[in-house]
Structure 1
Amino acid sequence: MSNTTARARLHEIIRDRSFGYGEITLASGRKSNFYFNLKPTMCDPEGAALLAELTYEALKDDKLDYVGGLEMGAVPLAGALAQLSWMKGAPIGAFFVRKKPKEHGARLAIEGLTKTESLAGKRIVIVEDVTTTGGSAVKALDAVREAGAEVALVFTMVDRDEGASETFAAAGVPFRSLYKASEFLKG
């Protein structure tokens, strides 16, 4: 399947499974009359495969060591991308950042790495399912920078176009998206 065909099909899946109208409060605290909940798309076999394939294609030339982001939205994306990158012979490891470290066990903020692995000096991409202002992704960005990683970029599946570009520009990090919210809104 060509990237154009895959992108069109994924758009249909997101529209049918993950997009809707109705007043909601976003993670940023803002009110909106439309929403994206990408979990049904990320948990759909075809949706998950297309998200991984299109994300891999968008990132394959960025020379990445790891992909990850803030729980919960980044977890299925990072795992699917790690698996696909392995299958394509260009492995990219995965991790995720907890919203707050566990209060038991190893008490880690960054999960998915062994005791001998570190993000220090590694090129990583922060992935996110839906981005509004960028505040959630900045939490992951700060955590991996604190761990010594080089953040190559932030990549989201859907950019709501509500300030994230400015947030990441201020943080000195490139920002790209698979889709813009406007691609789903009625004309």
Structure 2
Amino acid sequence: MSTTPAPSSQNIGAMRARLRDIISKRSFGRGEITLASGRKSNFYFNLKPTMLDAEGAALLAEMTLDCLSGERIDYIGGLEMGAVPLAGAIAQLSFMRGAPIQAFFVRKKPKEHGARLSVEGLAPGESLKGKRVVIVEDVTTTGGSAIKAVDAVRESGAEIVMVLTMVDREEGAADNFREAGLDFRSIYKAAEFL
């Protein structure tokens, strides 16, 4: 299998600028909205149109792997529903680069039928016990959803390396993660779009 090389730092800068343009066009809007946290806002990010765009998905995966370079990561876990496409794109690109990071997703609540799992996507007999995991989120406001996902993944025996979001709305998440003892990083800050 041939591998896809990681881009240079100069290319990363160009990719970051291009991705910002895609997010601005496809996923950023203004107008009163109620966020998942219950807060009201006059702007919003809906990253699904970017994550499901061919170029947007590729660039989000590139930027994520760049942010994770130098870290030893076994798994990447996306929050249902927003970061599921993202986790898949990251897993695919990591494989293409010859350094595979497996993916899974964390349900908001366990299914009420079947295996009743919170963590989905692992093969039979596969476990997160002792594995180094990054939780990814598309947009973060207060971090409440990601902290719940962290708790569910820790119950599986994983070590949480960090929480990584594509866009930090800068509305308290950094403080909440710090209080929870979690490393928190973002690709973009909301201010870059306002």
Bin of the TM-score, shorter chain as denominator length: over 0.9
Q: What SS does the corresponding residue of 1:168 show, helix, strand or coil?
A: helix
**Displacement over 4 Å in runs of 4+:** none
Give the corresponding residue for 2:181: 172
Residue type at the aligned position of 1:33: N
Q: Tell whether the 8 Å contact from 2:78 to 2:86 is kept in structure 1 after alignment.
A: no
For residues 80 and 163 of structure 2, what CA distance do their matches in structure 1 show? 15
Q: Counterpart of 2:192?
A: 183
Matched, 1:11 2:20: yes
The separation in 2 between residues aligned to 1:3 and 1:131, in whole angstroms, is 23
Query: CA offset at residue 60 of structure 1?
Result: 2.4
Partner residue in 2 for 1:35: 44
Aligned partner of 2:77 in structure 1 is 68
1:124 aligns with 2:133: yes
* Distance (Å, rounded) in 1 between the aligned partners of 2:12 and 2:92: 19
Letter in 1 for 2:83: A
| Mapped pair 1:83 → 2:92 | yes
Alignment of 1:13-162 (within 5 A): 13-162=22-171
> Structure 1 length as normaliser, TM-score?
0.97
Q: Pairwise CA RMSD of aligned residues?
A: 0.8
Distance 2:65 2:26 in 1: 22
d(CA) in 2 for partners of 1:114 and 1:9? 36
**Percent identical:** 72
Letter in 1 for 2:171: E
Structure 2, unmatched stretches of 5+, are 1-6
